[in-house]
Amino acid sequence: MKYFVLGSSYVVRLDAGEKIIETLRALCERDVIGSGFFHGLGAVNDAELGHFDPATGDYSWTKLAGPYEIVSLYGNITVVDGKPFIHAHASLCDRTFAARGGHLREAVVSVTCEVTLTRFRDDITRKKDEATGLFKLALDPGGE
Amino acid sequence: MKYFVLGSSYVVRLDAGEKIIETLRALCERDVIGSGFFHGLGAVNDAELGHFDPATGDYSWTKLAGPYEIVSLYGNITVVDGKPFIHAHASLCDRTFAARGGHLREAVVSVTCEVTLTRFRDDITRKKDEATGLFKLALDPGGE
Amino acid sequence: MKYFVLGSSYVVRLDAGEKIIETLRALCERDVIGSGFFHGLGAVNDAELGHFDPATGDYSWTKLAGPYEIVSLYGNITVVDGKPFIHAHASLCDRTFAARGGHLREAVVSVTCEVTLTRFRDDITRKKDEATGLFKLALDPGGE
């Protein structure tokens, strides 16, 4: 991973074999990025996508071997338990060009992945929602 | 809906039962946001997607019950008749992970929806295009 | 194509018959934009999408007549050989609302296309990667 900083923005290149979520989390930890958002494109293998079913309160997961183009990748950055937390959704296409997408747990860069990331000044945290077990953005007054 | 303002950016959390377009429009009205763009992720039910056919000059619509992951959501903010106007496109995935998308008329948050929004300083308006009946961005000199 | 400049951001309207990639490249050349990113929505015909297969080192391409909604469009701007270079991925939906996507070589606006573009101050270049033949972001120290 290599990156270039332009004010509050980053241009990031992830290289073959690097895990997207893990690598972006490491960048946020290194540069103490406590909130922001990012987009990316490129190509991946071994992606894991999730779909949350509110009726069961659980994610179902699928593993996609690839090779895939990243058709869209958008995520946000927050802080949970003092560590950067990446929440990203993505859609991926194989050689049929059909798009498959969902919550992106992880994917491994196959050729390259190009990310633009905008950091904010302040930390934004998450708090566990007891009803769903999910960590939701803590934006309520008083940090709730 | 809760939000956090960071300079010219907003981080917004929409909660279960809230309509995405209606809620973002209300935020823009409250904070007098006259232009900008946003992205989002999360999960929705009861989405309505449109596809415009230039040959007929009409949208065809589909209603999707869900539950869906928001795979991508991008929209812009303008002002029409003195009111904020939201133009958004989205793609959604069900448990098969197949992506369906189009012009997003509305969707109801099922669990959470997380939006990052960047506001611009100036208002941007739209003007009705007589040929198509659509409100297009009024960026011509003199506001045409 | 018409556009409105707001600080380091552009709001761009592409009109019927304009090619998206070619038109954005011309805007970047005219305004000397050496790095940045953009998103768009709208409707197109005659899109060409690519899928890169790392095993063969080649793209496979498909031409889609349309009409299509642009469900997502994200790209970055760099400089190659002194000229603006646009790298964009997109997903498109026809009247069945099924999303198809990939590397966007080009597409022709059918009704309108609305783009928000953020420019950075510095140029970012690309360098040919001998292993793949692709032009990758040159973000290494020393510009490698």
pLDDT, tens digit, 9 for 90 and up, residues A84-119: 999 999 999 999 999 999 999 999 999 999 999 999
* pLDDT tens, per residue, chain B with 144 residues: 999 999 999 999 999 999 999 999 999 999 999 999 999 999 999 999 999 999 999 999 999 999 999 999 999 999 999 999 999 999 999 999 999 999 999 999 999 999 999 999 999 999 999 988 999 999 976 443
Task: Give the DSSP letter string of chain A.
Answer: -EEEEETTEEEEEEETT-BHHHHHHHHHHHTT--SEEEEEEEEEEEEEEEEEETTTTEEEEEEE-S-EEEEEEEEEEEEETTEEEEEEEEEEE-TT-BEEEEEEEEEEEEEEEEEEEEE-SS--BEEE-TTT--EEE--SGGG-
- For the cut 60, the answer to whether the pLDDT of residue A143 exceeds it is no
B38: left (phi over 0), alpha (psi -120 to 50) or beta: beta
Rounded-to-integer distance, Cα A121 and Cα A35, Å: 7
Residue C101 has its nearest CB partner, among A6, A9, A91, at: A91
**According to the model, what pLDDT value does residue A140 have?**
77
Q: How many Å lie between the alpha carbon of A17 and the closest alpha carbon of chain C?
A: 12
**According to the model, what pLDDT value does residue A141 have?**
65
Total CB pairs under 8 A between chain B and C: 105
Residue C69 has its nearest CB partner, among B103, B120, B124, at: B103
> Taking CA atoms, what residue in C is nearest to A8?
C120
What parts of chain C have a pLDDT lower than 50?
Answer: 142-144
| Residue B69: C-alpha distances to residues A89, B14, B53, C73 (Å) | 9, 14, 26, 19
- DSSP secondary structure code for residue B27 in this structure: H
Q: How many Å lie between the alpha carbon of B139 and the closest alpha carbon of chain C?
A: 6
**According to the model, what pLDDT value does residue B141 have?**
65
Task: Give the DSSP letter string of B34-87.
Answer: -SEEEEEEEEEEEEEEEEEETTTTEEEEEEE-S-EEEEEEEEEEEEETTEEEEE
Model pTM greater than 0.95?
A: yes
| Residue A97: C-alpha distances to residues A41, A92, A93 (Å) | 15, 9, 5
- For the cut 50, the answer to whether the pLDDT of residue A144 exceeds it is no
Q: What is the mean pLDDT of residues A3-23?
A: 97
- Count CB neighbours of C44 within 10 A: 29
3-class SS string, chain C:
CEEEEECCEEEEEEECCCEHHHHHHHHHHHCCCCCEEEEEEEEEEEEEEEEEECCCCEEEEEEECCCEEEEEEEEEEEEECCEEEEEEEEEEECCCCEEEEEEEEEEEEEEEEEEEEEECCCCCEEEECCCCCCEEECCCHHHC
Chain A interface test: which of C74, C79, C105, C116 (most A C-beta within 10 Å): C74
**According to the model, what pLDDT value does residue B32 have?**
97
Q: What is the mean pLDDT of residues A8-26?
A: 97
| Residue B31: C-alpha distances to residues A36, A87, A111, B83 (Å) | 21, 27, 43, 12
Binned at pLDDT 50, 70 and 90, residue A83 comes out as very high
Whether the CB of A93 is below 8 Å from some CB of chain C: the reply is: yes
Helix (H) or strand (E) holding B91: strand B83-93
**According to the model, what pLDDT value does residue C144 have?**
39
pLDDT, tens digit, 9 for 90 and up, residues B75-113: 999 999 999 999 999 999 999 999 999 999 999 999 999
**According to the model, what pLDDT value does residue B143 have?**
43
Q: Which residues of A touch B10 (CB under 8 A)?
A: none
Angle formed at CA C111 by CA C106 and CA C114, multiple of 5 degrees = 70
Q: What ipTM describes this predicted complex?
A: 0.96
Whether the CB of C116 is below 8 Å from some CB of chain A: the reply is: no
